[in-house]
A and B are shown apart, each in its own frame.
Chain A
Amino acid sequence: MSTWISCTNPIKNEYEKVFFLLFLFPLLSFSQEDLLGMLEEESEKTAEPEYAYATFKATRIVNTQSIENVPKKDLLFVIQHRFGRINEGIYDLFGLDYSTIRFGFDYGITDRVTVGIGRSSYQKTYDGTLKLKLARQVKGAKNFPLSISWFFQASLVTLRTEEGEPEISTQQRMAYVNQILIARKFSPKFSFQLSPALVHRNLVMDEEQPNDIWALGAGGRFKLSQRVSLNVDYVYQFNNPQKGSVYYDMLAVGFDIETGGHVFSLHITNSHGMLDRYFIAETTGDITNGDLYFGFNINRVFHLGK
């Protein structure tokens, strides 16, 4: 009898020990892991919305405007080069003998408002631009899937009329681009943008051309490494009656290379003009004919104030 009791007692004790230890267990684990857990809980209470940033590296995808603005009080100096047609052949060193340029300054009044001026050697065109961020892609405490901007550009052609041609007034030389930019950064590597546009020209030289051209731009980037991305953009024109004979849809493929203070863009496109009105509505290069141009842009940011 007594042996039976002495036999069971240890088992009973064992049980209670385990039970007791179970109660101790939360106490033991109540160390660093739980401190971190507490921190996570606390920081979630005050989590701030996470806005998407660096959807693109530069303010242009290749030709078309990207969703990116110039940060507040930063001045962006852009110098764009476009060489002659590659299919001119070796005599013109595949177009490198001829170069048109545009240079421009863009300034961030706020992080959401960028104003700019520029001058293109193509058609001797001056331009003024405004890019306004209307909505920002955000997740976390707030949620919105897209970044949306409005882009406006007014341009003035100052090329002289030739002798015998009628004079053209300043007003007639103006053209306007209105564009909505809708972008999403799907992942750190991949971003995509749709950009419906309306180009209005006060005067068109060809009777067949409407004053207004409606178009849809689409473009994206894929990051190949931290500092290099592959960019593609395309503009489809809806109502250009001379599409396929005189004018063509714009296509551009390029690489963005970021080196810290600069972003270099090297690209090939069928558009000779670098200004939005030209590549949206007046691209003359026929890809099927090999009318391609090599171009490169240099973006340099200067920080002007706190």
Chain B
Amino acid sequence: MKNYLPLFFIIFLCFEAYAQNKYFSRDGKISFYSKAPVEDIEAHHNQVSSIINMENGDIVFSMLIKGFQFEKALMQEHFNENYLESEKYPKSVFEGRITNFNDLDLSKDGEYDLKITGQLTIHGVTKEYSTDAKLKRTGDKLQGTCTFKVKVADHKIKIPSTVVDNIAEVVDVNVDIVYQPYKK
């Protein structure tokens, strides 16, 4: 047993290292845009929380569906009540990783092109997504931005035929998150 003692130390050191290499945000921005023949709809969320593990490139997002702000209150109500059913499925979660993490040295200041793959859950339906993203490092600050498309039907969000011209089948999603080192 004595022989393993140094190993335990190493393990604990690893824990330390993990904690230090996490970057966190609680006020990330995600917005989506729906362009349809009758009207364009956009909604903004300013309280997305996210963590990047700079040790292995793991990345997670979590947000409350109710946090999306629309210009029209009625739209916001319908979004929650009829489309996303936010009382039944309150959160949207993404669990993924930076697939080209090992090819990059993200410890230096600069802009990097990332490839991200992971599982995105919206409306209780999980689907795999892959997208390109950018990460900009300035000292201790990381800014991640990304744009991708979500097909509404992929997440079993039903659009009735009466409003089919008002809501796009595919919405554009923009992500813009500024991370700071995570402190417990």
In the complex, A301→B14 CA distance in Å?
58
Out of A36, A38, A42, name the residue touching B93 (CB < 8 Å): A36
Residues of B within 8 A of A19 (CB): 1
In the complex, A227→B179 CA distance in Å?
40
Out of A42, A54, A111, A259, name the residue touching B24 (CB < 8 Å): A42
Residues of B within 8 A of A31 (CB): 53, 56, 58
Given known contacts A24-B11, A27-B15, is B78 in contact with A35 (CB within 8 Å)?
Answer: no
B150 at the interface (CB under 8 A from A): no
In the complex, A71→B78 CA distance in Å?
13
In the complex, A16→B1 CA distance in Å?
7
A160 at the interface (CB under 8 A from B): no
Residues of A within 8 A of B77 (CB): 53-54
Given known contacts A23-B8, A35-B60, A42-B49, is B162 in contact with A259 (CB within 8 Å)?
Answer: yes
Residues of B within 8 A of A188 (CB): 81, 85, 87-88
Out of A48, A72, A258, A260, name the residue touching B166 (CB < 8 Å): A260
Query: Across the interface, do A303 and B18 meet the contact criterion of CB distance under 8 Å?
Result: no
In the complex, A253→B173 CA distance in Å?
43
Given known contacts A16-B4, A54-B81, is B51 in contact with A35 (CB within 8 Å)?
Answer: yes
Is chain B's interface secondary structure helix, strand, loop, or mixed overall?
mixed
Residues of A within 8 A of B7 (CB): 20
Query: Across the interface, do B49 and A39 meet the contact criterion of CB distance under 8 Å?
Result: yes
Q: Which of B65-73, B105-113, B125-133, B134-142 sits within the interface? A: B65-73
Query: Across the interface, do B74 and A71 meet the contact criterion of CB distance under 8 Å?
Result: yes
CB distance from A70 to the nearest CB of B (A): 9
A288 at the interface (CB under 8 A from B): no
Interface residues on B, range: 35 or more
Interface residues on A, range: 35 or more
Out of A40, A72, A259, name the residue touching B73 (CB < 8 Å): A72
CB distance from A51 to the nearest CB of B (A): 9
In the complex, A50→B86 CA distance in Å?
11
Among A35-67, those with CB < 8 Å from B are 35-36, 38-40, 42-43, 46, 48, 50, 53-54
A74 at the interface (CB under 8 A from B): yes
Query: Across the interface, do B73 and A71 meet the contact criterion of CB distance under 8 Å?
Result: yes
Residues of B within 8 A of A40 (CB): 62
Residues of A within 8 A of B73 (CB): 71-72, 74, 111
B42 at the interface (CB under 8 A from A): no
Additional A-B contacts beyond A31-B56, A42-B49, A53-B77 (6; CB < 8 A):
A20-B7, A31-B58, A35-B60, A38-B182, A259-B162, A260-B166
20 contacts between A and B (CB under 8 A): A19-B1, A20-B4, A27-B11, A27-B14, A30-B18, A32-B60, A35-B22, A35-B58, A38-B51, A39-B51, A39-B62, A43-B26, A71-B72, A74-B72, A111-B73, A226-B81, A226-B82, A259-B162, A261-B74, A301-B74
